[in-house]
Amino acid sequence: MKNLQKAVAFATASLCLSAPAVANDHENLTVETLADGLTHPWGMAFMPEGEMIITERAGGIRVYSPQTGLGERLTNVPEVAANNQGGMLDITLDPDFTNNNTVYFCYSKPGDGGSSTSVTKAVLGDGELTNLNTIFSAEPLVNNGFHFGCRLAFDDAGMLFVTLGDRYKYMDEAQNTDNHFGKIVRIHADGSVPEGNPFVDGDAPEVYTYGHRNVQGLTIHPETGDVWAMEHGPKGGDEINQLESGANYGWPKITYGIDYSGDIISDKTEMEGMEQPWLYWDPSIAPSGMEFYQGQPFAEWQGDLLVGSLKFTHLRRIEMNDGQPGEQHEYLRARGERIRDVEVGPDGFIYLLTDAPNGKLLKVSPAQ
């Protein structure tokens, strides 16, 4: 990004963030509970016939059908390290799912000495997974249950992006491109490394971008095909970034947040060679799940960015003004439910997962 462009983007984001979000009462929307009884649901994906596949952090994968409701947990699902933030996390479909019935899921995989953010592909059968193949595992393993990242997205070229975290106690390694701490990686669907990756000759050739803390939002812009990511800051400094190959997003050398103890992590918010966020939040909203809106039911929201907030229990809409963040709006906050994932369905309605022991799948439509 050119220096002038970066300065303009930063100034625009700062102005946007200085304005309070517009609180919208949940009664302006119709919210329907499609399913409950999900154990800390984390990720979901729509299948061609209108069904949804949903993960549960404790280790389950389940299919929801509009006709028959929530199915039993699939069998032959691999063991997960369901510790603190770890477990069965995001899931997505193969671009050719209609023909191959293949799904990809990201989870904390247990191993000798700890656990690792890993991605496995499998064929979805009748109540089970078959032909399991682990195509990526972050290295090295770490013996804690924090900052796995684990969002998945295929771009228009069929490349799979996987978000990773710094595993909490290795934040300085987010600046080292020879490992997987605090990175976003790009791989082919079989796990092989694309020749065009920016660090293809290094010890971690899958790395696409670096300097991240814990990325829990990932989406592809429906018009430009650009990859957008959203990450948790510490106390303050959650941010959204538009990814550029090989770019350094600064963590922990620059940050708009401080440590939970109140200690200063860095006294710098910008440095040469490090990208400014497209948007950041202070205080943190603990964002998770993001998607650009495309559809007819909320026609006035066309092209806006939807994100979930865990901390402040709401769905947030960010208006897009010529590619820059505009006014922000809050919805459903009065329900008091932590929003873990956000998807726009083929019907244009908005679907949410709530993070709770008795988690829900919600459908959001305009008020009748």
pLDDT at 18: 34
- Contact between 56 and 37 under an 8 Å Cβ cutoff? The reply is no
> Can you tell me the mean pLDDT for 105-110?
98
> Can you tell me the mean pLDDT for 333-358?
97
Tell me whether the omega of the peptide bond preceding residue 20 falls within 30 degrees of 0, making it cis. Answer: no
CA separation for the pair 297, 289 (Å, rounded): 20
- Contact between 207 and 174 under an 8 Å Cβ cutoff? The reply is no
Which domain, by its residues, includes 274?
A: 3-364
pLDDT at 19: 38
CA separation for the pair 81, 101 (Å, rounded): 26
> Can you tell me the mean pLDDT for 240-267?
97
Catalytic residues: 147
Confidence of residue 342 (pLDDT cuts 50, 70, 90): very high
> Can you tell me the mean pLDDT for 93-102?
98
Single-letter residue type at 261: S
Say if residue 4's pLDDT is above 90.
Answer: no
> Can you tell me the mean pLDDT for 157-182?
97
Residues 194-236: pLDDT tens digits? 999 999 999 999 999 999 999 999 999 999 999 999 999 999 9
pLDDT at 8: 37
Say if residue 351's pLDDT is above 70.
Answer: yes
pLDDT at 158: 98
Q: Report the share of the chain in percent with pLDDT over 90.
A: 92
Confidence of residue 368 (pLDDT cuts 50, 70, 90): confident
pLDDT at 16: 38
pLDDT at 259: 95
Q: Report the share of the chain in percent with pLDDT over 70.
A: 93
Residues 77-95: pLDDT tens digits? 999 999 999 999 999 999 9
Residues 320-340: pLDDT tens digits? 999 999 999 999 999 999 999
pLDDT at 12: 38
CA separation for the pair 47, 56 (Å, rounded): 17
> Can you tell me the mean pLDDT for 156-166?
98
Average pLDDT of the residues of the chain: 93
> Can you tell me the mean pLDDT for 180-202?
98
Domain of 329, CATH number, reads: 2.120.10.30
CA separation for the pair 330, 338 (Å, rounded): 13
Total domains present in the chain: 1
pLDDT at 24: 53
Q: What are phi and psi of 135, to 5 degrees?
A: -105, -15
